[in-house]
Amino acid sequence: MLILQFLLIFRKAAAGELEEGSGLSELARLAEIDVDEVGVGGAAKFFEAKVKEQASSNKFEAEIKQEQEERKKQAQEAKARKEAFMARKAAFGVS
């Protein structure tokens, strides 16, 4: 799991966008650690342990994959919109 995925989980948790009882909300709730006390290495180990716990849950993995698919779809749609815009722009002869 990437750090960006962790950040996405916490951003959604802070915004209240996670379903109560879902794997992601459980991870956000359980993922509290004081980096001043344990250091960065300890925090990394803590998060790795939490990921291993939650990885056993198919629901958690499905939510992550769904988020990734949504981002991929949004990127493809944005690319298609840009290509359509450039085609219209070229039709008018604007550089």
Contact 25, 10 (CB under 8 A): no
Question: In this predicted structure, what is the pLDDT of residue 95?
Answer: 61
Where exactly are the structural domains of the chain? 3-91
Q: Which pLDDT tens digit goes with each residue over 27-60? A: 666 556 666 776 777 777 777 777 676 666 667 7
Tally of CB atoms within 10 A around 35: 12
With a pLDDT cut of 90, the percent of the chain lying above it is 22
* 46 contact partners, CB below 8 Å, separation of at least 6: 31, 33, 38
Region for 45 from its dihedrals, namely left if φ exceeds 0, alpha if ψ lies in -120 to 50, beta otherwise: alpha
Nearest C-alpha neighbor of 5 from the set 66, 57, 85, 58: 66
Q: Which of 72-76, 81-85, 87-91 has the lowest mean pLDDT?
A: 87-91
**pTM of the shown model:** 0.40
